[in-house]
Amino acid sequence: MEDMIKIKIIKKKQLPKIAEVEYSQKPPSMEFKKFKKEKRGGPRYMLWFVAFICLVFLFFAFSYMFSSASVTINPKVENIVIDENLSASKDSSASPVSFDLVVISGEESQNIRTDNKEDVSIPATGTVIIYNTFSTKSQTLLIDTRLEGSNGKIYKTNKRVIVPGMSSDNQPGKVEVGIYGDSPGKEYNSTPLDFKIFGFKGTPKYEKFYARSKGDITGGTTGSFYSITTEQKDQALVYLKNTLRDKLLKKVSEQIPKGFVLFDEAISLDINDQNVQSFSDTSLVPVTVKGTLYGLLFNETKLTKKIAEDILTNYDDSDVYITNIKNLTLTIANKENLIFSDVKNIDFTLKGSTKIVWRFDVEKFSKELLGKKKKDFNSIISKYPNVVSSNLALKPFWRMSLPDKLDKIKVIVNYPK
């Protein structure tokens, strides 16, 4: 310390109470402070640098942790015009086109007030199925053809019908028709009966043509009752039939299993108008209709495949579907003579303009993308020839590979509506 500082003491007489210090170098306190400041500044900058590197690392780590891939697919779509004559079989795994039968029953009622009272004479009515085991040729039966019941009474058909001939596998041809008693009265009411065609008696056809009633034969009566007019009855029947049809069709539509389609024309509502009474013991005359709705549910996959085979050139058995297939127009051949409850085979036409669309296997494609390089995407999508175009978007955008987990890959297929 002595060699660094020279101190000169001035006499009190010259400068009282003042000491003069001469420095040959800077004070030690200043040197110490500078040294301390330089030593402390280096680590501080280093800490900031390390913190910055850690933040960058965390940013990238979180970016990869929350990375994802989104793929948009535009599948192949072709506009088509359908005008096909087709056949279908019930519940047949071997048939190119198949259908199932759905059956649902119900009833609707309406009370009509009347003051009209009159003598009523009503014949019993019912429904029969006429069978042809005579030949493969059809047989025409005129209106009012007489049927002899197993109860010994005569009933008549209410319209002209054609009984189809036997099928190639010897199944009898058959047709459904309404009947009524030859005379009014309760004595013609009956439980189900067997019938012969009275006009064929004495010929080979007498034993080969026969009929069986479908349910009871009812409604025959005579006496004085409250009654409604024919116009009131007809108006009520129109309303009740439409209401019943809509209600049953709604129930059927709610029960259609996945993979089946019900066309509007593949429906039959079976209502026997002859069993609807228009008279009563009271001034409130109940009009009730009971009906059964039959629907043919077509296997959509089989029907679509058959159409694709017939219409598309070089169809390769790819998985396709037809947009709004239910809106196509279906017409069943000889529907008026078809007994829906017993139908096994049908011929029909299908017409309309629509689109046929190739389905895309999202699950298979997503698995192929797992962990792949971004540059490999085009080679992977090229394996799917029924894709028109596609787009890949990665997050974060600087990623060069796809995620290795399925839940990180989202595939959107733009199917047409």
Write the DSSP string, 264-280: EEEEEEEE-GGG---EE
**Helix, strand, coil content of the chain in percent (nearest 5):** 30, 40, 30
Q: Let me know if residue 130 belongs to a domain.
A: yes
The CA distance from 161 to 209, in Å, is 14
Q: Let me know if residue 170 belongs to a domain.
A: yes
The CA distance from 307 to 93, in Å, is 17
CA angle 264, 306, 317 (to 5 degrees): 135
Q: Are 141 and 45 found together in one domain?
A: no
Q: Let me know if residue 83 belongs to a domain.
A: no
Q: Which of 62, 88, 109 is the last residue of a domain?
A: 62
b/e per residue, 242-269, with b = 16+ CB within 10 A?
Answer: eebbebbbeebeeeeeeebbbbeebbbb
Q: Which of 180, 206, 226 is the last residue of a domain?
A: 226
Q: Are 127 and 215 found together in one domain?
A: yes
Residue 223 φ/ψ region, left for φ over 0, alpha for ψ in the -120 to 50 degree band, beta for the rest: left
Q: Let me know if residue 317 belongs to a domain.
A: no
Task: Quickly list DSSP for 302-347.
Answer: HHHHHHHHHHSTT-----EEETTGGGSEEEETTGGG--GGG--EEE
- 166 close to 172: Cβ distance less than 8 angstroms: yes
Q: Are 121 and 197 found together in one domain?
A: yes
Distances (CA, A) of 293 to 127, 179, 192, 377: 16, 21, 21, 53
Pairing of strands 77-90, 98-113: parallel
Q: Are 121 and 52 found together in one domain?
A: no
Q: Let me know if residue 128 belongs to a domain.
A: yes
pLDDT tens, N- to C-terminus, the chain (417 residues): 444 444 444 444 444 544 444 444 455 555 445 545 455 555 667 776 666 666 555 555 555 556 889 999 999 999 999 999 999 999 777 789 999 999 999 999 999 999 999 888 889 999 999 999 999 999 999 999 999 999 999 999 999 999 999 998 889 999 999 999 999 999 999 999 999 999 999 999 999 999 999 989 988 889 899 989 889 999 999 999 999 999 999 999 898 999 999 999 999 988 866 567 788 889 999 999 988 999 999 999 999 999 999 999 889 999 999 999 999 999 999 888 888 888 889 999 999 999 999 999 999 999 999 999 999 999 999 999 999 999 999 988 788 889 989 999 999 999 998
Closest CA to 164 of 191, 134, 142, 192: 134
Q: Let me know if residue 103 belongs to a domain.
A: no
Q: Please give the backbone phi and psi of residue 342, each rounded to the nearest 5 degrees, phi first.
A: -120, 10
Residue 240 CB contacts under 8 Å (≥ 6 apart), including other chains:
108, 109, 110, 287, 288, 289
Query: What pTM does this model have?
Result: 0.62
Q: Which of 188, 206, 226 is the last residue of a domain?
A: 226
Tokens of 121: 């004479």
What pLDDT, on the 0 to 100 scale, is given for residue 384?
Answer: 94
* CB-side neighbour CA atoms (13 Å) of 268: 20
Name the domain count of the chain. Answer: 3
The CA distance from 164 to 173, in Å, is 5
Q: Let me know if residue 334 belongs to a domain.
A: no
The CA distance from 13 to 300, in Å, is 127
Determine the residue type at 2: E
Tokens of 340: 């829906």
Q: Let me know if residue 124 belongs to a domain.
A: yes
Residue 66 CB contacts under 8 Å (≥ 6 apart), including other chains:
395
- Terminal-to-terminal C-alpha distance of the chain: 97
CB neighbourhood size of 287 (10 A): 21
**Domain containing 409: what range?**
70-77+360-413
Q: Contacts by 168-174 with C-beta closer than 8 Å and gap 24+? A: 168/136, 171/344, 172/131, 172/132, 172/133, 173/131, 173/132, 173/138, 174/129, 174/130, 174/131, 174/132, 174/339, 174/342
Tokens of 320: 């396709």
Q: Are 57 and 121 found together in one domain?
A: no
Q: Are 143 and 44 found together in one domain?
A: no
Q: Are 121 and 202 found together in one domain?
A: yes
Q: Are 133 and 210 found together in one domain?
A: yes
The CA distance from 349 to 402, in Å, is 49
